[in-house]
Structures are given as structure tokens and as C-alpha cells.
Amino acid sequence: MSLSESDPTGLHRVLDAAVVLPQAAARLDTRRDLWPDEVRIRVERLNLDAASYRQLERKHAGDGERVRAEVLEIVTTRGKMQNPETGSGGMLVGTVEEVGSKSPLGLAVGDHVATLVSLTLTPLVIEDGLARWDGRSEQVPCDGYAVLFGRSIAAVIPDDLPTELSLSVMDVCGAPALTARVVGEYDGPTVAVIGGGGKSGSLSLAAAREAGARHLIGVVPHEHEAEALRAAGLADEVVVADARNPVELRDAVAKAGGPADVTVVCVDVPGCEGGAILCTADRGTVVFFSMATSFAAAALGAEGLAADVTMIVGNGYVPGHAAYAMELLRSNHGVRTLFESRLH
């Protein structure tokens, strides 16, 4: 490919010798000029991925100056914010500064947006040395610019909601959209959401209801979370169980009206694959949104249990996912209450 042509995946900005996608690249080209299908964003804030920020904080024993210095060095060296230890990035908030003539993203100059693709594949230049950041929080005030590709995703931040609240919803917006799609493939199914009290879990419960679930089971790890979820009214039954204990989870879901036709896993702890499989009915579907999911544990677990279940890798992208999640937040009082209680 000639350098004058762009690729919707951003391949034309990879500076590595080997052919790799931007996410896998060591270094990206951060030139300011746009290829025709690109968009440039004036950045106002970076939200570092929680795992990445915690690693940096630990490494530098909470010394904010050194955390800031390392973030600056990573971005300068790599042309993107990707923590070399955790491999993760985060997202950013900013304003559209320029739109290439062939951009398919539907954005206009001046739009206030959040990027829904990871910082790990987004060309980024920091221009203020992060002078307004003390290095002590994953919220990073920042002046600089970032580039979106033809296949990137950004969502306009609504005017009618607090920005914090919108970002908190957008962060997990893939889960409710995919849950709705899967639930819609069944006829009045029973749906269990493991981790139903969390951000992606509560949105998934609301989405499952909208998509036609007949019986909704929310599983949470502690009684106080159960109370909050019961008060929110998102599930027909709320049960307390340790999702890492397969038999406890199976029995809890069975008692609450299971097995489930669709099981949605939203808890970020390892070892939940067996339980999720066991609480799912024959010909049911398990959707794994947890990044702690082990592919081998899921594949071998289902085989070892002779479980005829479809297991889906929770893809964070479904067209229209951000708008759909915002709609759920606006229309569902229970969801909104749970999200707002988390921000205070």
C-alpha cells in the first residue's frame, strides 16, 4: 500500500516494521495532517483504564510526579497511551477539530465527543505536558490532539445529562446492546445476569427486559448490593451467590427460577466460566463481558460438562450501542439511580 492511501483500520499510521494493527503496534504516526477518512479531536481529558492507572500508581508508590512523567514518556515514545505492563489504555473526551472529506463517522466540527475505541490504538499528542494533572487520579485533564480512523467510533456526549454520568454509561455501552440482541433471539426467555448490580450488569438487566425477557434473575455477591438492586426494580429475583463457586451459582439460579436461557456474565473476577455454564439451560447462550474470562476455561468447561450452550465473546461494539445505553439511562429510573449513586 502506498503511504498516501489510508486504511480504515489505521494501518497507514503504524510505524512498526512488521504488519500489525494499531493496537498491537509499538509506535504510531501522530502527524497532524489528516488522511481523507480521518477525524482530529482536540483533547480535553483522558480517562486512563483503571488497571493501567493502578499499575502506574503502585510502581511509583503513589508519587504523582513520577506517574505523570511516565504517562508523558509513554505517549511521546509510542504515539498513543498504552501501558506496556497492562497493555490497556482508556478513552478520551474532546471536541471535533477537523473532519476529513471522506470520514464515515458522521461527526461535525465542534461536536463534544467521547471516543469508544481504546486509547491503545488512537494516535495521540499531548501539548501541555499534563500541567493540570497531579498524577493522582485516572482522570487526566489534558490539552492535545488525537486522530480517529475510518473504522473508529466516537459518541456525541448529550447536553441533557452530566458529562460524568454519560461517560460512565458509555464506558460499558456494548453490554446492553449485545444482551438485547441475544435475548431477542429467544421467545420470552429467562435471563440471568451475573453481577447484575454493577454498571454493565444493571444496564444489561434493563436491556433484557426491553428485549422481551419473561423472567429476570440478578446475581450479586453481597447482601447490601442485593438490597440496592431490589430497590432499583430491575430484576424479578435477586439472589446472593459467589459466582466463582459453580455449584452455589447453579443452585442459586435454579432456586430463583432458572436455569437461564441467556446468562450474561458481568463480574470482573476469574473463574466464573463453570458456574455460568452450569446455570444455563440446554441450547441456551452465555455472553461473557468480563475481561477476566479465560477462553480455555470456557471451552474445556462446557465440553467437560457436556453442556450444549452457545458461548459468546462480549464484543464491545454493536452499532448504535452508545445511543441505546443512554436511552436506557434516561428511560429507566432504576438504572439511573444505581449509576448516580456510584458517582457520589
Site residues for a second copy per CB under 8 A = 7, 9, 11, 19-24, 116-118, 120-121, 151-153, 174, 245-248, 274, 278, 288, 291, 293-296, 298-319
**Residue (153 or 323) nearer to a second copy, CB:** 153
Q: How far is the CB of 203 from a second copy (least distance, A)?
A: 16
Grid cell listed for 228: 440496592
Backbone CA torsion sign across 167, 293, 244, 184: positive
Q: How far is the CB of 104 from a second copy (least distance, A)?
A: 10
Q: How far is the CB of 57 from a second copy (least distance, A)?
A: 22
Q: How far is the CB of 74 from a second copy (least distance, A)?
A: 18
**Residue (238 or 302) nearer to a second copy, CB:** 302
**Residue (135 or 195) nearer to a second copy, CB:** 195
Q: How far is the CB of 219 from a second copy (least distance, A)?
A: 16
Q: How far is the CB of 196 from a second copy (least distance, A)?
A: 20
Q: How far is the CB of 94 from a second copy (least distance, A)?
A: 18
**Residue (130 or 170) nearer to a second copy, CB:** 170
**Residue (232 or 249) nearer to a second copy, CB:** 249
From CA 327, how far away is CA 331, in angstroms rounded? 6
**Residue (30 or 115) nearer to a second copy, CB:** 115
**Residue (135 or 274) nearer to a second copy, CB:** 274
